[in-house]
A and B are shown apart, each in its own frame.
Chain A
């Protein structure tokens, strides 16, 4: 208690210091980079120190938690804000940001500086940089590769008594699942069981309503079951694709996974809630982004006991795409400094260090390195997952499309409204209306 009181004084001093603007050393200029507040962002802070040392340009960071990130940053872009010079924006924003002039087109700059897009993994260039999709019009440099994957408790999976009981009950080995159905069996097996004296649950999955959570979670089941956005790409013919029999099965599956195997109160949870549940030893498996794996592997409590696996397939192998490219905001008054950062970041050595600090480089020199697969316990899985990623619409109207999906999915999965078929039919209705407003239908 004495220490505690002494601390109050020290704290007051810290607060005062925090309040006073810290005079920057002889730095010519400072630029601000905006991203989501998560583990890789801390790694980027560490990495960027080299940039400041090398160029003398100071770096400031504005990190916003994921549930608020899209809202806040799209608002910022649409209001032509000058807060961010560099923005690591989500892959789906690229259509709108390119068409509305929020991002600087980087083709000329890449040409001038000799930055070649062929040096980056094709899937990441397609997803994070190009608009219109697949054309050589670049609006970002692939910065952070990511996909939705799974974390599991290796120590629990390896307990002989559990292994035996599982085999007897389900007829296959208790090991990282090969299919979605197996995944549910395993989750069911752990749900409500007492392990190491604590009551545990099957799986933590995404059910968040406000931003993108439940869409990212449910698509991780929908894609493997055979869900497609369109029958013919680029034609917006969603009838029979979005609500195909496979898609309906996939969505029903996700709901049954939610109903049977999640911890209590998992009605509005996303990355953070999942991490909390997993780190506190509440769940046997957790769906979450690859971005969190480096941090989890180092976690003091569960790091050594954690294994990783790629999102299991069902009809097809597929993972939900995450990840972002880094763009220069066109309203920034510090365009040259921001471009200098991108030039520096594209350097293979920087990319190598980026991977070693816990960022997912998309650079071929890193990914194709023979030692890459064994450099981390999740490196091989990362390559496998990135080979089969699918992304949400990247249309300029992506926010409307996403909001509609969030609502339809949450209404069906969490709020128990209607059937899976009705939810997907409703989704087609909403999406059709949006595309009509856009003049695309």
Chain B
């Protein structure tokens, strides 16, 4: 804040020093913020003893034991029993036997991960499908009580999930939708559709009406104009909306833990229950968490440009 900077530079162009200082501070913050993420990743490649060693080990010999434990269940055997077995099949067999255990079967991680994929993508498709229609309706037509309806759609997001879960639990129990993928897809769709409507309405509002009107003069019906003119223009918006819906459904925990127990359980309620012999199997938890986070990392990078709009319900546009 000295005289030099205010005279030599316009505010729009910050001075070199201030830029340097800013870059150092931001990069330091970025590194600090990444430490926990790095630790999750690193723990996935530790052996169980390394993961709980004191002081915490930053340098260690990488091992796949965490990933092996994540995908298998194991039982303890006597060393005599293990000695009489044939040569180990694959690396997981080898690391398991080193702990005097044998692989007894596959764990539930893979099925739970697949449930996450099915439920997240299913509900995303439905919410975007419903959302794009409703958004078009709200954007182009005079709907009575439009503002009230839009606000009503938004207010459904203000309920704490546990509060919503109470009646849903009873309703699903009567309808036989407890612990079903369909039930979870419908629920996530209902939660996400509010986001989809608000976001997509913003995107569709930006498409000039003149395009459709011109198409309709050329003989298109309203629906054809919607399909052939509006939708292609809204592709980016639809993609961005889809990813935001996907992220919510992917990360959701409260509904999943209360309304599912096995067949439809997703990964977030499952990961905290990964235990080894005794306490938590931290390398397996690290491995499971890493695998679960990778899709989100990719989405974040894809989404950079639309992030702001998505997380503020379209209230802020860049």
Bitwise, B110-139 to A at CB < 8 A (1) or not (0) is 110110000000000000000000000000
Pair A276/B110 contact, Cβ less than 8 Å: no
Pair B178/A42 contact, Cβ less than 8 Å: no
| B161 proximity list for chain A (CB < 8 A) | none
Other than the known A271-B278, A298-B78, what 7 A-B pairs have Cβ atoms closer than 8 Å? Answer: A8-B64, A11-B68, A37-B275, A42-B76, A45-B104, A76-B261, A276-B52
Bitwise, B82-122 to A at CB < 8 A (1) or not (0) is 00000000111000000010001011111101100000000
Q: CB within 8 Å of A: which residues of B?
A: 52, 62-64, 67-68, 71-72, 75-76, 78, 90-92, 100, 104, 106-111, 113-114, 169, 172-173, 178-179, 258-259, 261-263, 272-273, 275, 277-280
Pair B278/A276 contact, Cβ less than 8 Å: yes
Distance A81 CA – B179 CA, assembled complex (angstroms): 7
Choose from A42, A83, A272 the contact partner of B261 (Cβ within 8 Å).
Answer: A83
> Measured between C-beta atoms, what is the minimum distance from A271 to chain B in Å?
8
A155 contacts the other chain (CB 8 A): no
Pair B104/A298 contact, Cβ less than 8 Å: no
| B262 proximity list for chain A (CB < 8 A) | 32, 62, 76, 81, 83
Bitwise, A149-186 to B at CB < 8 A (1) or not (0) is 00000000000000000000000000000000000000
A6 contacts the other chain (CB 8 A): yes
Pair A15/B179 contact, Cβ less than 8 Å: no
Tell me if B's interface is mostly helix, strand, loop or mixed. mixed
Number of A-B contacts (CB under 8 A): 99
Distance A78 CA – B52 CA, assembled complex (angstroms): 38
- Please report the total number of A residues contacting B with Cβ < 8 Å: 44
Choose from A45, A62, A275, A280 the contact partner of B277 (Cβ within 8 Å).
Answer: A275
A39 contacts the other chain (CB 8 A): yes
Centre residue among A3, A68, A72, A79 by max chain B CB count within 10 A: A79
Identity of the chain B residue whose Cβ is nearest the Cβ of A83 in the assembled complex: B262
Identity of the chain B residue whose Cβ is nearest the Cβ of A271 in the assembled complex: B278
A426 contacts the other chain (CB 8 A): no
Identity of the chain A residue whose Cβ is nearest the Cβ of B65 in the assembled complex: A7
Known contacts A39-B277, A64-B273, A273-B279; decide if A72 and B261 are in contact (CB<8 Å): yes
Pair A14/B104 contact, Cβ less than 8 Å: no
A101 contacts the other chain (CB 8 A): no
| B258 proximity list for chain A (CB < 8 A) | 75
Known contacts A11-B68, A14-B71, A295-B76; decide if A80 and B173 are in contact (CB<8 Å): yes
Distance A79 CA – B179 CA, assembled complex (angstroms): 9
Distance A8 CA – B65 CA, assembled complex (angstroms): 11
Identity of the chain B residue whose Cβ is nearest the Cβ of A273 in the assembled complex: B279
| B179 proximity list for chain A (CB < 8 A) | 76, 79, 81, 83
The 9 closest A-B pairs by CB, nearest first: A275-B278, A272-B279, A7-B91, A79-B178, A18-B106, A18-B110, A83-B262, A276-B279, A19-B110
Pair A15/B71 contact, Cβ less than 8 Å: yes
Bitwise, A59-81 to B at CB < 8 A (1) or not (0) is 00010110010001101101111
Distance A57 CA – B158 CA, assembled complex (angstroms): 48
| B106 proximity list for chain A (CB < 8 A) | 17-18, 22
